[in-house]
Structure 1
Amino acid sequence: MTVERIGPPLTGGERETLRAFLDYHRATLAMKADGLSDDDLRRQSMPPSTLSLLGLVRHMAEVERAWFRRVMNGEDIPYVWSDKGDFQEAYDASESTRSEAFEAWQTEIEHSRRIEEQAESLDVTGYQAKWGEDVSLRLVMLHMIHEYARHNGHADFLREGIDGTVGA
């Protein structure tokens, strides 16, 4: 599977630019996993870390679900891989497959895109129960860009450790 990654517009409006940067980072994570076997995707970084590319994909499925469906859309739905709402549990990909993890992640991305597209503006708010505060869609999108950018840095190192592939 070849992943298409389109750069953000150089002169777009705020919402278009946020949407494009978020999609750019989603595609970057997919690119880092492209062409690897399930065993490669489960390969962990150096001890004591158990981080893997597949674990990152699972984690980001949880993050997408939490911020867009639970916070912005107010859905009372369970977490994908944790009965306790612990995002760290998603990192344990020891029994996971590419198919399972990527299907869950893509499903959550589709929900996130739908929720964002249906929102009247970036000023629409949702309730972040963990903070006991309302948050704007703008904050959620910026947070998601930050979350992906940070984890894509991890993905860079993980991929290099698997087969030497480096770069954007």
Structure 2
Amino acid sequence: MLKAKMKAVLLTVAGALLVATAPAAAQAPESQQLPSDNYATEQQKKHDHGHGHWQKEDREKHMARRLKHLQEAAQYFGISIEGKSAKELHAELKSIRTSNPAKWEQFKAERKAKRLAALQEEAKRLGISTEGKTTKQICAEIVKKRKLNGSKVKQ
């Protein structure tokens, strides 16, 4: 009978401890608590401006830049650009690319040289040495330098 009383007392104490600690256990630590509404709206704002979601202004800038590049390429190959859409210019440039691959490669090489010269000029302005570096390396150093200086990184 003594054993039965001891078991009953132990179970009662265990039950009391369980009931006493239940509210504390129900509260999660701060790191596990759900984010506030303010946090959720901040995250939504970040999400809306990144991860593949185009804003109207960004899309318009992109399309204007693309058209400009297509027009430059068309002028290089002697294609009339008057009243032509980006789709039409793209189709004509594609046909030239297949019909005259040597001239297309020459065009690409000139564009790469022009880009390298622009990057080298920007690197010089920022005080970055370009000796023996590839275009990618120069570009990466320019981005790094701009981030350190706190200036806007061009893309």
Normalization by structure 1: what TM-score?
Answer: 0.28
The structure in which a higher percent of residues are helix is 2
Structure showing greater Rg: 2
Higher relative contact order (CA 8 A, sep 6+): 1
TM-score, length-scaled by structure 2: 0.30
**More strand as a share of residues:** 1
